[in-house]
Amino acid sequence: MPKLFEERRDWFVRRAVAMHRAHISNEKKMEKVKGVDSFWRKFRAKAEVAELTDEQRKEVEAFWSRYSFAYQNNILTQQYYTKVSGRFDPRYCSEGLNAYYMYRFYDSVDYHTAFHDKNYRECLFHDFRFTPAVAHRIRGCYYNDKMEKVRFYQMVNQLEKLVNTTEEKLIVKPTPGGGGNGIQFIRRGDTKTDIANLLDSIKGDDVIIERFIKAHPVYAAANPTSLNTLRIITFMHRQEFQVICIVFRMGATGKEVDNFAQGGVACPVSPEGICADWGVDHWGKRHDVHPNGFEFAGYKLCSVDKALEMVKKMHARIPQFKQMSWDIAIDETGEPMLVEMNPRGDIAVYQVWGALPFGEKTKEILDEYLLLLYYDLGADWTWDYMEYHDHIALIKYDGLKKDVIVPEQIKGKPVTTLEKGCFSKDKVRKITLPGCVKSLGDISKEIEVVQLEDTRGIVVEAPTEVNVASSDFKVTVSWENSDTEAYTYVYRMQLGSPRKFMRVVMPGVTSFVDHDALPGVAYQYSVRSYRTNCAMYSDWVKAKTIVPRK
């Protein structure tokens, strides 16, 4: 009896610990998100929020309940942006959600730091116009405007000559920075000692030194002391390009930079270049006119169409990033110039005007990255499990029975999957599986398995009309899918290599573009449908192609 009591006690403690750990794990996932959101709510503590109607609250709850297994929305996000923008939309996203959930799946981490480095801007966009750099500092080494390595004293001599002959001032930017932070100026009259001391004061950071460009008079009129620019947010998804928002950024009165974080004011701009009748500052405060008296309403900016065409071409060059924020200056001749590009960018910059992070595709993107890639850990008195948006995957059985009956549902969701190592052959002799369990992991052959009939009548139909169209470095795979709730799994194989998973495609999408195909190589693509809520696959459908050489 004491031994049985000890076993029961140990089991009780073990399960209690499992449930507590699952809770802590899920709390940690949201900890950073909540931290960022709390910072912004504190930052905007004095800002007013909208009082949503009961219908609007229900709409917000209905939209975000779909993702509640992985992310808990705070309705203050929707209230804040509704108040500032004057436009209600349940799809407004919090800063924390974007920073810790969406960006790491919609931004290429491998490329982010390198492509964000201002020192290599001209390498990526050498055939576009950009604010001209006169010098670079990279890892302590100095380079001239031709990226030729020079000694420190040579660089100082060159900069001193420039600001005392052709340039009134030069702008010095730390290349890892953003928001205008750390920017300094070398001005006419500065001595070589002044310049050397300034560069030495920027400890540890790489820098880029640029000529200070004079803006077109139409742009300079808003605030003559700063280079006022267009912030254009673009989004590319499935080869479709769209502009999320265009913003006219104006420096604060007397400031030399136009950044929000430095007190600047910005207002939305139409594709035709017409300014809206109000602007906003970094704290979410609305302005009918700039603090210096400049009136936004109906003001016509020039060359916006040229800037849009320019960013479209530039974004096509870096498909590693789905969303980009471009800072574009319009020079005295009316031509656009790239100042800098920002993968990601500040979500508040466009939501304060009622624009969504991914435009009208916001729900589609949230579905693609939250529903498919996230789960919550869970535990009850018998099972450790992973909760997805529409099904449960069992991780571990820790009950006391030798003959186990797997539940058909947990938390109202069907149990469809047994993960590897779910059952121990030393504890279990027989497992009875409901028909909804389709993926069995690696159950030991020593355990008897009884699979009950699936009475739900679910059949996943295979894709039809599978076609491939190939061109240089690109293959487009397309298909028809009669099952509107099924995801499509796409795989690729070439002779002598194993089959490679390419992508899982959302329901309703019937094509995939492979940009990694090599000319002259024969490929076979295989597609099949999959229903997550029952863990059922359709049959494979295959198609072959050879990518042509130039």
* Short-list 361, 368, 396, 366, CA closest to 382: 396
Q: Whole-angstrom Cα distance, residue 521 to residue 338?
A: 38
- Other CB atoms within a 10 A radius of the CB of residue 13 amount to 10
The DSSP call for residue 516 is: -
Domains present along the chain, CATH in parentheses: 2-108+364-372 (no CATH), 216-346 (3.30.470.20), 380-451 (no CATH), 464-546 (2.60.40.10)
Q: Three-state DSSP class for 232?
A: strand
In which residue ranges of the chain is pLDDT below 70? 1, 41-47, 176-181, 260-261, 345, 550
pLDDT tens per residue, range 107-151: 777 787 777 788 888 888 889 998 888 999 998 899 998 889 999
- Other CB atoms within a 10 A radius of the CB of residue 74 amount to 17
Q: Taking the CA atoms of the chain, what radius of gyration do you get in angstroms?
A: 29
pLDDT for position 479:
92
Q: Three-state DSSP class for 118?
A: helix
Contact 103, 73 (CB under 8 A): no
Q: Whole-angstrom Cα distance, residue 207 to residue 212?
A: 15
Q: What is the DSSP string of 280-317?
A: EETT--EESB-TTS-B-TTPBPSSHHHHHHHHHHHHHH
pTM, to two decimals: 0.78
Show the tokens assigned to 514: 């492979």
The DSSP call for residue 275 is: B
* Residue 305 Cα to chain centre, angstroms: 26
The DSSP call for residue 147 is: -
Show the tokens assigned to 432: 């009875």
Q: Whole-angstrom Cα distance, residue 37 to residue 72?
A: 12
Q: Whole-angstrom Cα distance, residue 507 to residue 487?
A: 5
Show the tokens assigned to 430: 């027989």
Mapping DSSP onto H, E and C, the string for 187-225 reads ECCCCHHHHHHHHHHCCCCCEEEEECCCECHHHHCCCCC
* Short-list 261, 148, 131, 141, CA closest to 206: 141
* Residue 146 Cα to chain centre, angstroms: 34
Pairing of strands 141-144, 464-471: unpaired
Q: Whole-angstrom Cα distance, residue 316 to residue 305?
A: 17
Q: What is the DSSP string of 12-76?
A: HHHHHHHHHHHHHHHHHHHHHHHHHHHHHHHHTTTS------HHHHHHHHHHHGGGTTT----TH
Q: Whole-angstrom Cα distance, residue 530 to residue 507?
A: 10
Q: Which amino acid is at 175?
A: T
Q: Whole-angstrom Cα distance, residue 492 to residue 499?
A: 6
Show the tokens assigned to 464: 């039809």
251 burial (CB, 10 Å; 0-12 / 13-18 / 19+) is: buried
Contact 474, 332 (CB under 8 A): no
> What's phi and psi for 170, nearest 5 deg?
-120, 145
pLDDT tens per residue, range 364-392: 888 888 877 788 899 999 999 999 888 89
497 burial (CB, 10 Å; 0-12 / 13-18 / 19+) is: exposed
pLDDT tens per residue, range 495-531: 778 888 888 888 888 998 888 788 888 889 999 998 8
Q: Whole-angstrom Cα distance, residue 489 to residue 287?
A: 49
Pairing of strands 522-531, 541-546: antiparallel
Strand partners, 378: 385
Q: Whole-angstrom Cα distance, residue 99 to residue 83?
A: 23
- The residue with tokens 């070589």 is 192
